[in-house]
Amino acid sequence: MTPPTDEPTRLRYARMAGGVYLLLIPLYMGGLMIANHAIGDGDFAEAARSVAAQPALYRFGLLLQLLCSVFTVVLAFALYVVLRPVDALLAQQAMIWRLAEAAVGATATVIAFGRPALYVAAAEAASLTAEQGAAVSAMARAMHLGGFAAGILFFSVGSTLFFTLFRRTDWLPRWLSALGVFASVLTAFVAIGLLVWPQASFVEIGWLPIFVAEILTGLWLLAKGRPSQTQSRSRSDA
């Protein structure tokens, strides 16, 4: 069963996509900040004591990150409904890539949910020494980072395809959809950087363009909420 493609339906889903775009970045960053606050800036032993004192806070930060995967599914379908009339197969491919991103990201976050148990066990001197706990925690952290970076690779392809489709419509200004394509491609290099040089800080610069592109896209779809013409530009006019 295919979704309806009438203009009112596409308008509703465009606004839904705009709202989710604006939600995802603060949701993930907020969850990351809360989890990092629960861990603190000390060594493993200090982090273990900090998390053991407030495990719910740490898990709440991870929950916010997990919700990003949930809302990514919503975003993927909303964008598919908006852009399916432009090119159904390409829109479907883009949705599948973003759904894969959500699945990989959720798996990585679920892995991270096991880390509080390590911190609590180490803090209570249960069955782990500080050295053992630090080693296992480092492995869990590496698995989470690897899963996150892999999810970004799926994101890069899906986001590039969606912004490419936007370039063939009047839903977004040409410059904004072009920025989205550029920023989405750039995130693939960020993901590769995280996988090859996980400790390098220079890869973080690559996040800025996609942050700007997604925030502006969210604002545009929410505020304007419709293409500038009643009909999208045809593929031959793009």
Q: Which tens digits make up the pLDDT trace of 37-89?
A: 888 877 677 777 788 788 889 899 999 999 999 999 999 999 999 999 999 99
**190 within 8 A of 207, measured Cβ to Cβ:** yes
One-letter amino acid for residue 135 of the chain:
A
Q: pTM for the whole thing? A: 0.84
The Cα–Cα gap between 52 and 46 comes to 10
User: Three-class SS string for the chain?
Assistant: CCCCCCHHHHHHHHHHHHHHHHHHHHHHHHHHHHHHHHHCCCCHHHHHHHHHHCHHHHHHHHHHHHHHHHHHHHHHHHHHHHHCCCCHHHHHHHHHHHHHHHHHHHHHHHHHCCHHHHHHHHHCCCCCCHHHHHHHHHHHHHHHHHHHHHHHHHHHHHHHHHHHHHCCCCCCCHHHHHHHHHHHHHHHHHHHHHHHCCCCCHHHHHHHHHHHHHHHHHHHHHHCCCCCCCCCCCCCCC
One-letter amino acid for residue 233 of the chain:
R
Q: Tens-of-pLDDT digits for all 238 residues of the chain?
A: 566 667 888 999 999 999 999 999 999 999 989 988 888 877 677 777 788 788 889 899 999 999 999 999 999 999 999 999 999 999 999 999 999 999 999 998 888 887 777 777 666 665 556 666 666 667 667 777 788 889 999 999 999 999 999 999 999 999 999 999 999 999 999 998 888 887 766 667 888 999 999 999 999 999 876 665 444 444 444 4
What are the C-alpha distances in Å from 37 to residues 9, 61, 228?
42, 9, 44
Q: What is the mean pLDDT of the chain?
A: 84
The Cα–Cα gap between 54 and 73 comes to 30
Name every residue whose Cβ is closer than 8 Å to that of residue 141 and which is 6 or more positions away in sequence. Answer: 112, 115
